[in-house]
Structure 1
Amino acid sequence: MNSSTDFWPPCGFHALVRNARGWLVPTETYFQWILARPELALVPESCAAEMALHQSLATSPLRPVAPQELAVLADDDARENYAVFLHFRDALVSAGTLEAYYLQLMRGGAINIPAVFIDAMVQAMLRNLLNDCNDAVEARAAEMLFRSQRVSLQDGQMLAGDRATLDMLNETAGLGDVGRLLLESGALQPHVELQVLGADNAAAYWQDSGRYRFLLDLTHELTQDLSHGLTFKMTRARSGLKALARVLERWVQHFLGVQVRVEPVHQVTDSAWRWHVGLDVESTAILNDLYQGHPVEADRMARLVSLFTLTFANPAEMRADVAGKPVYLGLATNAEGVVRIKPQNLLLNLPLASSS
């Protein structure tokens, strides 16, 4: 990718600074960017106290805020939103980097900040990891770690599309409130046609990445050999699943400092695997049931998008009882065809020899 080409411009990455480890240090500009997000932006109904608070924080985003400054806000939701922002700000500054704060959150039990803030951090961290990326499919695959996807089979291809984008187009045909009214009246028929990302339109991805309008090809073929219930055969040399695998490798290396190799599985022949990690809630439940020998209904099995093997470059970095064994990863949709990856699962659940 040309160094002058940017992608995901609205993610706040350029308001962050890399430290010596390559982790991202927040700046005042980053918190100003957070304050400008829709969750905190002023609205016509904002009271004078909220306008004054917002303006002062936009000017000095790290300044202390006394409890009474929140107490005088007229709107309950606004009061809660600013309290959440201040908690997020102070905890992030205390942690020092986005990565350190993210690990503290995920290792600490209950999550006490909204998912929108977590997704924003994940996107910025991935933008950092992919700064040298020249593969549009890999960048598109990385979107799966911070944006829900709808997965569907169309003309023999398994395609993943951004859930929010697809839902918006289905509801408004891309024409906002006017489109919604036309759809409701029957004057406009819903028709969503997004491009499948490939070599022929990769350049357009870099130019339009902030709109999340490209479909990712996750095509595979389920064979008839289900001796262990887990058999996949890849049918495309340029697979979005392989691109996702490269992103997961970078993710693990960046946080845990261990080198791993992730590959989509053609066929699982190990009937007594030792370790597995679900990349989402659904695949975690499926793999747990299979591992424990519980029957898995056909409709649940059909939700598996893919399986992967993860191998450590240095088996000595694994727990002794599983050293040298592959870790199996799962990726699945829920009953509505939605995939919501939980990237923290790879950081919390790998069989490491010691805490990283």
Structure 2
Amino acid sequence: MRDYWPTCGFRLLTTGTDGQLRVTDEFLRSLLERPELAPVPESCAAELALHQDLLDQPRRAVDEARLALLADEDARANYAVWLRFRTRLLARPTLEASYLQLFRGNVDVPPLFVHQLTQVLLRHILGGAATPFEARAAEMLFRPQRIALQEGQVMAADDETVERQALSASFGSLGDLIRRSGASLRTAELDVLTADSADGYWPRNEAHDFVVALNHGQPALAALCRVLERWVAHFLGVQVTIAPEGEIDDDQWVWHVGLDAQATAVLNALYQGEEVADAQRERMLCLFRLDFTEPGVVRPEVAGRPVYLAMAMDEQQRLRLKPQNLLLNLPLARQA
């Protein structure tokens, strides 16, 4: 059993008898220690007092009058964001339910917090028996990826790590690959996760510095399918199988879900019979087929039919997956 991503906050939560996560005071305190909220030498007395009061009682009510006492405008704004996020976290009995509720209506939570919750939930769902490929594939759901295309190979690297490594003086073969793909990088030195190097993921599990191949037949793509299957099962209570698909050759195409904004736009256009620009088609990275183990859980018009999924990079060759799309847009007969 592996303990990975230790700083994400998963260990500060509790699990109910239903297998769902509960928000704790310890988890809320950890959010208060983030750089956006942690006091700095310039913090005024009112800010220091508010921070300490919230550490003592993380669920304490804070009104606008008290926020107005903070001298620093950025500090006032950051606390307002945190308090709104706290409200969203505590709006439902479980973290899973609160997470789903975030996306029903206007999303007013910064991506930073959404990504942290996604990571925490994935850590819970995958458990300690995750394989290195599953853990690395799961990173794609909460960390944007930089895509490099070279001689038919589709390589995904952590976007933030690529930018950071680009500032170093070292240079590796993958850095050359990414640079030739069009990214504006000086250097990059990253390792490719393979069957031989897989165990090296664990001591570097929070470095986010392994690159994976996303071509059909590659273990990382298969692992991504398994992660998405478990993501759906945990939240929606339905069993599905997901596998890469070469193309949509289906006269009875009835449902699809884009796993990111780019793929959603392309799938919607194709479904409506509209023309799709060559540049958009070329940015499509992978197509998947999702099948329900029990057809009776879906709407009658979709029963027995597959749901097509897709992911695509944007014009800057970044992949920004939105795993919530898979939870909110499946054609279930009943909603979770």
Give the TM-score normalised by structure 2: 0.91
Counterpart in 1 of 2:117?
A: 121
Describe how 1:136-155 pairs up with structure 2 within 5 A. 136-154=132-150
Q: Could you tell me which of 21, 39, 55 is aligned with 2:36? A: 39
Between the aligned partners of 2:169 and 2:107, the Cα distance in structure 1 is 35
Cross-structure match for 2:268: 288
Structure 1 residues 173, 21: closer, same or farther in 2, change over 3 A? farther
Query: What is aligned with 1:134?
Result: 130
**What are the residue-to-residue correspondences of 1:277-316 with 2, within 5 Å?**
277-316=257-296
Q: Which amino acid aligns with 1:121?
A: L
1:259 is the counterpart of 2:239: yes
Paired with 1:191 and 1:93, the residues of 2 have a C-alpha distance of 44
Q: What code does the residue aligned with 2:124 have? A: N
What CA deviation, in whole Å up to 9, does each residue of 1:13-38 have, x standing for no partner? 00001112211101111011111112
Q: Tell me the SS of whatever aligns to 2:242.
A: strand
SS of structure 2 residue aligned to 1:307: strand
- The equivalent of 2:157 in structure 1 is 161
Q: Is residue 191 of structure 2 the alignment partner of residue 195 of structure 1?
A: yes
Q: CA deviation at 1:263?
A: 0.4
Partner residue, 2:180: none
The aligned counterpart of 1:182 is: none
What is the aligned partner in structure 2 of residue 325 from structure 1?
305
Deviations 1:265-311 (A, max 9, x none): 13432144111110000000001111111111221111111000000
Q: Which digits, 9 at most, give the CA deviation of each residue in 1:68-90, with x for residues without a partner?
A: 32111011111011112122223
Rounded Cα–Cα distance in structure 1 between residues aligned with 2:5 and 2:213: 20
Question: Where does the alignment leave 5 or more consecutive residues of structure 2 unmatched?
Answer: 171-184
SS at match of 1:244: helix
Q: Is the 1:279–1:331 contact (alpha carbons within 8 Å) kept by the matching residues of 2?
A: yes
Per the alignment, residue 4 of structure 2 pairs with 7
Aligned to 2:67: 70
The match for 1:86 is 83
Q: CA deviation at 1:97?
A: 1.8
Deviations 1:152-180 (A, max 9, x none): 12454211011111112224559xxxxxx
Aligned residues: 322
Counterpart-to-counterpart distance in 2, 1:341 and 1:133: 24
Q: Is the 8 A contact 1:261 1:311 kept in 2?
A: yes
Provide the C-alpha distance between the structure 1 equivalents of 2:12 and 2:146, rounded to a whole number of angstroms: 31
Question: Distance in 1 between the 2:136 and 2:40 partners?
Answer: 33
Counterpart of 2:332 in structure 1: which amino acid? L
1:133 Cα deviation from its structure 2 partner? 3.0
Task: Report the Cα distance in structure 1 between the residues aligned to 2:274 and 2:247, rounded to whole angstroms.
Answer: 20
SS in 1 for 2:37: coil
Q: Is the 8 A contact 1:149 1:163 kept in 2?
A: yes
Deviation at 1:134, TM superposition (A): 3.4
In structure 2, what residue type is equivalent to 1:242?
A
What SS class does the counterpart of residue 33 from structure 1 fall into? Answer: helix
Superposed displacement of residue 94, structure 1: 3.1
Q: State the match for 2:55 in structure 1.
A: 58
Query: What is the letter of the counterpart of residue 90 of structure 1?
Result: T
Could you tell me whether the CA contact under 8 Å between 1:261 and 1:313 is conserved in 2?
yes
Question: Is the CA contact (8 Å cut-off) linking 1:15 and 1:27 kept in structure 2?
Answer: yes
- Where structure 1 has 5 or more consecutive residues not aligned to the other structure, the ranges are 175-188, 220-233
Partner of 1:104: 101
**For 2:89 and 2:130, how far apart are their aligned partners in 1?**
31
- Tell me, in whole angstroms, the C-alpha distance in 1 between the residues paired with 2:92 and 2:29: 18
Cα drift, residue 127 of structure 1:
0.3
| CA root-mean-square deviation | 1.7
Corresponding residue to 1:170 among 166, 182, 200: 166
Change (3 A) 1:335 1:130: same
Distance in 2 of aligned mates of 1:308 and 1:66: 48
Contact (CA 8 Å) 1:133, 1:139: kept in 2 or not?
Answer: no
* Native 8 Å contact 2:298 2:333 kept in 1: yes
**1:352 CA displacement:** 0.7
1:207 to 203, 209, 233: 203
Which residue does 2:45 correspond to in 1?
48
Q: Which amino acid aligns with 2:194?
A: G
Alignment pair present for 1:343 and 2:323:
yes
SS at 1:264's partner residue? strand
**Partners in 2 of 1:93 and 1:190 — Cα distance?**
44
Structure 1 residues 134 and 125: CA distance shift in structure 2, 3 A:
closer
**Matches of 2:251 and 2:162 in 1, distance apart?**
39
For 1:92, give the aligned amino acid.
L
Residue pairs, 1:213-252, within 5 angstroms: 213-219=209-215, 234=216, 236=217, 238-252=218-232
Q: Which runs of 4 or more aligned residues in structure 1 lie more than 3 Å from their structure 2 counterparts after TM superposition? A: 171-174
Cα distance between partner residues in 1 of 2:287 and 2:129: 24
Assess if the C-alpha contact under 8 Å between 1:262 and 1:309 holds in 2.
Answer: yes
